[in-house]
Amino acid sequence: MNCDDSRIYLPAYLDDELDVAESLRVQKHMTECADCRLDQEEQLALRSALRDPELYAHPSADFSRRIEIAVRRAARAEARSQHSGWFEFFRFDSFRWAPAAAALVCVIAVGTLLLLNSLRSSHQQLIASAVLASHIRSLQPNHLIDVPSSDRHTVKPWFQGRLDFSPPVPDLSELGWNLVGGRLDYVDGKPVAVLVYQRRMHNINVFLWPNHGSADDAIREEDAQGYQILHWNGAETTYWVVSDLNNAELLEFARALRGH
């Protein structure tokens, strides 16, 4: 199976609609192809995002009432031009059309909210996919580090002139997290700083860029293909941390980094 076949089969595979032989062929391709694994991960993430109960909005009683009044007013103007009898107008207005029109407006409102939410979360998902792909790429020979050094006073100045911001480069060696270097990378079309730390044989990629939005330093977790992805928005800097280190230790690392 090649990537084109895999892309065609993937939705049916995720829906459990393939027979055993076909499923095994897709699975085999997934183990061999990082690109298609990413596709699969993205589709799974989108599916679970769409199941989020927060996507459902319930209109307030006041909102429904205002819609009903507006619809009634419009129907009254319409009825005035078409009907003369008050009895008929009353029947036409309240009992038949207003609830249906109000329901339609609610459906549109809910649909818009749902779309906005899924756009926002799919942008996060896009960044998660990009940093994960970059992490996997960095594990290939000679891709991990542009400036190999455990000294923050070497790594930090290296970014000068290469980026239009100066990334924080904390020394966490006393806590058992060894800086091994940094590199320049691209995420979401922007050049970003990457710091590489290690514990035992595990590489930790820290992607950094300026945070122009609001700060929210709660650490969020994304689990992807055996890798851990953590991210938060500091007051000045957005952080994405990717590693194959276990979740508990990586959280410990993220808290140490956030505290610096």
Amino acid at 41: E
Nearer to Zn ion by Cβ, of 14 and 147: the residue is 14
184/169 Cα distance (integer angstroms):
14
> Taking the complex as a whole, how short is the minimal distance between the CB of residue 26 and Zn ion, in angstroms?
10
> Taking the complex as a whole, how short is the minimal distance between the CB of residue 36 and Zn ion, in angstroms?
3
> Taking the complex as a whole, how short is the minimal distance between the CB of residue 28 and Zn ion, in angstroms?
11
Contact positions with Zn ion (CB under 5 A) in 6-25? 6
- Of the ranges 1-9, 111-119, 132-140, 209-217, which one interacts with Zn ion (CB under 5 A)? 1-9
Length of the chain equals: 260
> Taking the complex as a whole, how short is the minimal distance between the CB of residue 201 and Zn ion, in angstroms?
27
Number of other CB atoms surrounding residue 159 within 10 Å: 23
Residue 136 in the binding site for Zn ion (CB under 5 A): no
Nearer to Zn ion by Cβ, of 28 and 83: the residue is 28
Residues with Cβ within 8 Å of 103's Cβ and at least 6 positions away in sequence, in order, are none
Nearer to Zn ion by Cβ, of 33 and 180: the residue is 33
> Taking the complex as a whole, how short is the minimal distance between the CB of residue 139 and Zn ion, in angstroms?
18
- Of the ranges 26-34, 51-59, 102-110, 233-241, which one interacts with Zn ion (CB under 5 A)? 26-34
Residue 3 in the binding site for Zn ion (CB under 5 A): yes
Residues binding Zn ion: what is the number (CB under 5 A)?
4
CA dihedral 149, 150, 152, 158 (to 10 degrees): 10
Nearer to Zn ion by Cβ, of 6 and 129: the residue is 6
Sign of CA dihedral 11, 16, 17, 20: positive
Nearer to Zn ion by Cβ, of 6 and 238: the residue is 6
DSSP string, 114-174: HHHHHHHHHHHHHHHHHHHHHHHHHTSTT-S-SEE-S-HHHHHHHTBTTBSS-------GG
Please enumerate, as own/partner, the contacts of 111-120 that have beta carbons within 8 Å and a separation of 24 or more: 113/55, 113/57, 114/55, 114/56, 114/57, 117/52, 117/54, 117/55, 118/46, 118/49, 118/50, 118/55
Residue 102 in the binding site for Zn ion (CB under 5 A): no
What binding mask, one character per residue, do residues 27-66 give for Zn ion by CB under 5 A, x or -? ------x--x------------------------------
Nearer to Zn ion by Cβ, of 115 and 139: the residue is 139
Instruction: Give the footprint of Zn ion on this chain (CB under 5 A).
Output: 3, 6, 33, 36
